[in-house]
Amino acid sequence: MSIFLVIAFLFCIGSIIGWCIELLFRRFFDKKMNPEGKWVNPGFCVGPYLPIYGCGLVMLYLIASLEKLDIIENPYIEKPVLFVIMALCMTAVEFIAGTIGLKVTSVRLWDYSDEWGNIKGFICPKFSLAWAILGAVYYFLIHPYILDALEWLSNNLAFSFFVGLFFGVFIIDVAYSSSIMAKLKKFAEENDVYVRYEKIKSQFRAYQEKQKGRLRFFFPFRSERSISDLLTDFKITFERRKK
């Protein structure tokens, strides 16, 4: 089985599983951004997937596969080093993705500014530790099943059709979501600010419920009025650009 299909398959299931994790986290644990405990569709895309988790699963799989090289012979040292590498790599992915998102679109997709030791609000020790723990959970509880899943896929290549279908829907979703980001970027540049994505989504959810009495879970930005007009009306705390 080609490495391309392996990566595509892992990205697919990682994105979906990551979306489920974030959905539950925001519903039951994220009281700061979701004090009312409502179901919130996480992430940049409309559909039930988070690309950063897809990239994360691919990376965790590749790092866990380094164990076969026997670089460190002592197993008591090997495992902690492996988990530290996983945490560092995932933290790097967060930092790069957050930085690119802010520089290219003027939108801050997530914000750790209130967390201790944060760097530019993109990464912080708290979530780096969470990545290390998640890496350990992956290694001991998930990786063996991933290997079984890849073996099953190699014997059932017809399933690759659904992987291709996933990417077809995903590409359309990215195109639609990018059009939303373009409108947010335009507003941000015209007002010389950076936009906090999650806060804006929260404002749009509140507006939808007030106007329609219902919440669009998958299309939070759909409205009769333009996004620019609503952003002007909303009392959102934007992040001023530093001169």
96-117 pLDDT, tens digit per residue, is 989 998 888 888 888 888 889 9
Length of the chain equals 243
**pLDDT score, position 207:** 77
Selected residue with higher pLDDT from 217 and 25: 25
Selected residue with higher pLDDT from 97 and 227: 97
pLDDT surpasses 80 at 8: yes
What average pLDDT does this structure show over 171-197? Answer: 88
User: Both tokens of residue 73?
Assistant: 């012979």
What average pLDDT does this structure show over 152-158? Answer: 85
Identify the three-state secondary structure at position 107: strand
DSSP label of 119 = B
**pLDDT score, position 20:** 92
Q: Note the pLDDT tens digit of each residue in 43-79.
A: 888 899 999 899 989 999 988 887 776 666 666 787 8
Task: List the single range of 10-19, 120-129, 154-163 with lowest mean pLDDT.
Answer: 154-163
Dihedral of CA atoms 38, 39, 45, 50 in degrees, nearest 10, equals 120
Q: What span, in angstroms and rounded, lies between the C-alpha atoms of 10 and 138?
A: 13
**pLDDT score, position 14:** 92
**pLDDT score, position 166:** 94
Selected residue with higher pLDDT from 45 and 204: 45
Q: What span, in angstroms and rounded, lies between the C-alpha atoms of 70 and 53?
A: 27
Q: Indicate the helix (H) or strand (E) that contains 153.
A: helix 143-155
Q: What span, in angstroms and rounded, lies between the C-alpha atoms of 25 and 127?
A: 13
pLDDT surpasses 60 at 119: yes
Dihedral of CA atoms 210, 214, 219, 221 in degrees, nearest 10, equals 0
pLDDT surpasses 90 at 173: yes
pLDDT surpasses 80 at 196: yes
Q: What span, in angstroms and rounded, lies between the C-alpha atoms of 159 and 156?
A: 6
Q: Indicate the helix (H) or strand (E) that contains 206.
A: helix 197-212
Query: What confidence category does residue 11 fall into, taking pLDDT thresholds of 50, 70 and 90?
Result: very high
Mean pLDDT of the chain: 84
pLDDT surpasses 90 at 211: no
- Angle ∠(41,42,47) on CA atoms, nearest 5: 65
Which bin fits 63, alpha (ψ -120 to 50), beta or left (φ > 0)? alpha
Model pTM score: 0.84
